[in-house]
Amino acid sequence: MNKQINEEGCKMFTRSDYMRGNCTHAQFYEQMVTDEIKNNAKTFVGMGYILGSKCEHFNDVPMNVWDSAGICAGYAIDAKIKETGDNPSLAGRVCVLKAAARIIKREYAELEARSTVSNLEYAVRSEK
């Protein structure tokens, strides 16, 4: 496996690793997601689309939404794509944005679960 070091000093899967099957599509693209890119996904795709999607690949979100978001968020995403030894493209930007959307949705679900547990614990304590 040929991992590169990103600007934070962490090892990253390269495009070659991905093409050789040394990492999954999700691993390859999720490693590029930063807080800035998550904020771009929230802003340019929208939380309604992200949280409302019923498809694990977000294919129920119109492609023009992803393409527009990829154009608007291009600079930040292109830098991360280049770190992996890949060449930036609109398709790559969309993959990174969809990876960001998956992370956002996962974080939101975890937050909801913690909130539900906290509310249940509070209700149980209040009854005593």
* Interval 57-81: pLDDT, tens: 999 999 999 999 999 999 999 999 9
97-121: pLDDT as tens digits: 999 999 999 999 999 887 765 655 5
pLDDT attached to residue 5: 65
Residue 88 has pLDDT above 90, yes or no: yes
**Extents of the domains making up the chain:** 4-103
Q: pTM of the prediction?
A: 0.84
Burial 46-69 (b: 16+ CB within 10 A, else e): eeebbeebeeeebeebeeebbeeb
The span from the CA of 123 to the CA of 37, in Å, is 37
Residue 55 has pLDDT above 90, yes or no: yes
The span from the CA of 29 to the CA of 94, in Å, is 10
